[in-house]
Amino acid sequence: MKKILACIFAVSVITTAAFSKNFFSQRFFEIKVGTDVDFSNNLFAMNDFMKKDLVIDLRKIADDCPEEGFNIRADLAPVSEINLNIKDFHLGLSSGIEMYESLSVGKDLFDFLGYGNSIGETLNFSLNNDTDVFAFSQLSVGFKIARLKIRVEPAVFMPILSVRGGGGSVTVLNDADGNVNMGIDLNLDVYSAIELKKNDEGSVSFDVDKIESILTSGYGFDLGGGVALDLTKSLTLDTTCRIPIIPGHLNYKSNVQGGFDYKMKLSDFENAEKTERETTVTNMEDSLAVHRPLKLDVYLNKNFLGSLFNARAGAGFGIRRPFSDYAVFYPEYYLGFGINLIDIIKVGVSTQYKDQLFIHQLGTTFNIRLIQLDLGISSQSSSFKKSLSVGGVGAYAYVTVGF
């Protein structure tokens, strides 16, 4: 084992000496695995709950709720990569999953909780669920011509699931005995790569007997990449993009209905009487064309004192669900500052608006050539105010091994 490690280290030294000026700056061959994960909301901050004596002020919550309503957001993006770097040439292959989930309820529900309503008056509030799940495989080719660095990233993707608006409703009724009767009705139109079905336990799952259909149809294609131009030795202009080319297709549509009924007192939520309704799944013949988000961003990168300090600033835009009736345009920006100790230890802080989230992040890199760890944590939310008070938390962790 010691001889094998010694050989790997020797090869690393030789390839580095031949192809790189800095021993720690670039591996010849590497394997990388990791994930990004985010969870946030736009109403509650973490310090609202981290108190010895927790007091729930329903009127304050109603007043603080944004006009667009209460929103919960979750994202997950695990990925694995294999990379080959030879001087100014890069070749990589990656695969992973991208998941987006957003659940919203109107402000009027919180106005009711804070200020109440008349006895016997029935109130209806809407629920909105928004979901996209993709699997992808991507090829990355990069090379340098004079002061110009070019990277091309064609990708094949498979949409797995999409829920576009709708979701159900919440019905509330006060009775004369001081009880609150609440009904939650779920009504989702789900587009999927595999047909949904109701299993023996009463929950909804994919029909695994039809899994072969995901391997024979539904693929889409998009083209990403970037161009970096060295304006000076310490200043670089960098452009990145992802352009949808061919949509993927979700070949199954299912309507899922179900719900819950609660009877409770406002002063005793924990002892609510709960009744669960039967879940039904109705399959229909329909399909949906799906693209991954369109992206375009431009950055300026500046080094100070050699490469000891660096700054990065940029702006751009994204279009989620481009070329569809559900297209959403949003701007993006990024501002970050970092310290780099000869590529062994890096520490960076940044603030950005990305994929409709405000993110304030601290990240670190530890690199000892054969292994590299990239770790980061962030405070974030779809509300700028709540992103500053930890309305949500994001994190990333990546491990890279190679020589």
For the residues of 123-180, what is the DSSP string, one character each?
EEEEEEEEEEEEEEEEEEEEEEETTEEEEEEEEEEEEEEEEEEEEEEEEEEE-TTS-E
What is the domain count for the chain? 1
pLDDT at 286 over 80: yes
pLDDT at 360 over 70: yes
pLDDT at 213 over 80: no
CATH of the domain at 349: 2.40.160
CA distances from 382 to 41, 311, 390 (A): 7, 25, 11
pLDDT computed for residue 299 by the predictor: 97
Query: What gap in Å lies between CA 12 and CA 229, rounded to an integer?
Result: 29
Determine the average pLDDT of the residues in 147-170: 91
pLDDT computed for residue 44 by the predictor: 86
Query: What gap in Å lies between CA 227 and CA 298, rounded to an integer?
Result: 10
Determine the average pLDDT of the residues in 242-247: 96
Determine the average pLDDT of the residues in 22-33: 81
Neighbours of 104 (CB within 10 A): 19
pLDDT at 199 over 80: no
CA angle 372, 226, 237 (to 5 degrees): 90
218 torsion bin: left (phi>0), alpha (psi -120 to 50), beta (else): left
pLDDT computed for residue 115 by the predictor: 75
More confident call, 340 vs 262: 340
The model's confidence at residue 20, banded by pLDDT at 50, 70 and 90, is very low
Burial (CB count <10 Å: 0-12, 13-18, 19+), residue 145:
exposed
pLDDT at 15 over 50: no
Out of 3-7, 90-94, 191-195, 387-391, the most confident range is 90-94
pLDDT computed for residue 334 by the predictor: 97
State which residues form the domain around 275: 2-402
More confident call, 125 vs 245: 245
pLDDT at 281 over 60: yes
pLDDT in tens, 165-175: 778 888 888 77
Computed over every residue of the chain, the mean pLDDT equals 86
**Helix or strand holding residue 258 (H, E):** strand 252-265
pLDDT computed for residue 214 by the predictor: 64
Determine the average pLDDT of the residues in 313-325: 94
Mean pLDDT lowest for which of 35-49, 153-167, 265-279?
A: 265-279
The model's confidence at residue 11, banded by pLDDT at 50, 70 and 90, is very low
